């Protein structure tokens, strides 16, 4: 889900090694990379990633209930 959030935020371009339009890393691998980078991300990028992560979580109803995320 973190990988999907990064892709929605347009941050996946920071993980790419070439200029191809097609996805180079699976959403799972992107999520692993973002998780590893969380402690060192700039504040603005971190906020953007987390904002999109919450959006993704809200779209998955069962996870929203599990994590007690409210829909507005």
pLDDT in tens, 13-55: 777 656 666 667 888 888 999 999 999 999 999 999 999 998 8
Question: Whole-angstrom Cα distance, residue 46 to residue 37?
Answer: 9
- Name the pTM for this structure: 0.70
Cβ burial 38-63 (10 Å sphere, 16+ → b, else e): eeebeeeeeebbeebbeebbeeeeee
Instruction: Report pLDDT for 60.
Output: 77
Distance CA 47, CA 9 (A): 10
Let me know: does 8 contact 55? Beta carbons within 8 Å.
yes
pLDDT at 64: 61
> Which helix (H) or strand (E) covers residue 62, if one does?
helix 61-67
């Amino acid at each position: 889900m973190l990988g999907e959030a990064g892709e929605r935020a347009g941050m996946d371009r920071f993980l790419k090694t070439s200029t191809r339009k097609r996805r180079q890393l699976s959403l799972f691998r992107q999520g692993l990379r973002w998780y590893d980078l969380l402690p060192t991300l700039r504040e603005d990028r971190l906020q953007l990633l987390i904002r999109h992560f919450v959006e993704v979580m809200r779209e998955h109803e069962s996870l929203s209930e599990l994590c007690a995320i409210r829909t507005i």
